[in-house]
A and B are shown apart, each in its own frame.
Chain A
């Protein structure tokens, strides 16, 4: 090679380098999480995907965004005002937003069949004793409240029998119970196990009263997803891999470690939470993010029962886009 040819080669490579670097840049993906979920078990799939490098492996520059003051009903708004690209959302809020004109759809399931424990002061021994007492519930239109109301009904308490205080987020509800302002509250994991270990009494589980349903999903605007299909497929693939880690018994110690880090509970409570989900299998954690359309339709039925939906009920398929799951290799 002559000297000038060598120089030309070096110049060519130098020109090419930035282009290569650009091609290797990760895709930025802003994921919205409600602040009430940040320290709860419902952040587990995302925490596992982040800490195990599953987003990086898919070439995603994953950014966790928490809109404030937040609230489950604000997460779809965060998609529309460009605060986030994809978001965690409880299914009824997605349905409500879509019926109000949003083009948001579910692209993957995050949690099914949530197990909410109705936890009461130590002196209350059964649900009937809650008559006339203050019970801290979540958003009136959400699946937590709907399932706990069904549990109360099952044990003979009607809507007017209790005084309801609306409190978003398991940590805030636990705090209400600890302050003595609430006689009972529904708590998710791991706080229900923590409360029980402190002497509070578990009066019942939401799953005693409701059939299986899709609890939380990742949602995205159809228009955004259509313009960024690659990012969505990569996200879904990483989320699916996180579920595989959570479900893998050989990775149990690592998952316990992540629960301890994200929620602040002891390893024993973290293990107890996983035992509650998997021993026996309670179909709380999706296999790979698949969306059960029947379970989704059940949420629509709950909403109708609660008087939130009227007339002919919409089909679940209207709120779901399975294309990205298929492209990510999830059936």
Chain B
């Protein structure tokens, strides 16, 4: 069921390494044996339109660390998982954007195992 999103994720992650931008772009693109599966996802409004500059919070409860990342013009973000011991089931995702409230936040875990990318999705409604 999730083959298409996973394939898309691979394409997106492969093609958009320059997207992350910012001063830590090279750091974020470092590969390490300690890394877990990367995360990517989209923030959209209820009509499916991408929301730019929405804040996506990925909280890894066991480590008490929250990564906060902003979406790009496609309403998309991506992030490497810095620790292979942090499992997707330990992750809580939430999204925020001024003037909007979150109506849905999903995490999709691939059945293929290994280090396949994990997709998340947030839906926001205008207040």
Contacts and interface: CB of A to CB of B under 8 A. Distances in A.
Contact of A35 (B24, B55, B64): B24
B22 A70 contact: yes
B89 interface: no
B90 interface: no
B64 A71 contact: no
A62 B63 CA distance: 12
Contacts of A78: 68
Interface in B5-54: 20-28, 30, 34
Contacts, number: 74
A62 B66 CA distance: 11
Q: Chain B: interface secondary structure?
A: mixed
B21 to A, nearest CB: 6
B64 A168 contact: no
Interface string A154-178: 0000000000001111011001000
Most chain B CB inside 10 Å of its own CB: which residue of A62, A72, A168: A168
Nearest to A68: B69
A64 interface: yes
A83 B58 CA distance: 12
A264 B84 CA distance: 14
Tier of interface size on chain B: 20 to 34
A107 interface: no
B23 A69 contact: yes
Interface residues of A, number: 31
Interface string A124-164: 00000000000000010000000000000000000000000
Contact of A64 (B25, B28, B55, B65): B65
A69 B69 CA distance: 7
Given A68-B69, A168-B27, A264 B20 contact: no
B23 A83 contact: no
A50 B64 contact: yes
Given A68-B68, A69-B23, 16 more contacts: A30-B66, A34-B24, A36-B27, A65-B65, A67-B69, A68-B22, A68-B67, A69-B28, A71-B22, A74-B22, A74-B23, A83-B55, A168-B26, A169-B24, A171-B30, A175-B26
24 contacts: A36-B27, A62-B64, A65-B67, A65-B68, A66-B67, A66-B68, A67-B69, A68-B24, A68-B69, A69-B22, A69-B69, A70-B22, A70-B23, A71-B22, A71-B24, A72-B23, A83-B55, A166-B23, A168-B23, A168-B24, A169-B24, A172-B24, A172-B26, A175-B30
Interface of A: 30, 34-36, 38, 50, 62-74, 78, 81, 83, 139, 166-169, 171-172, 175, 264
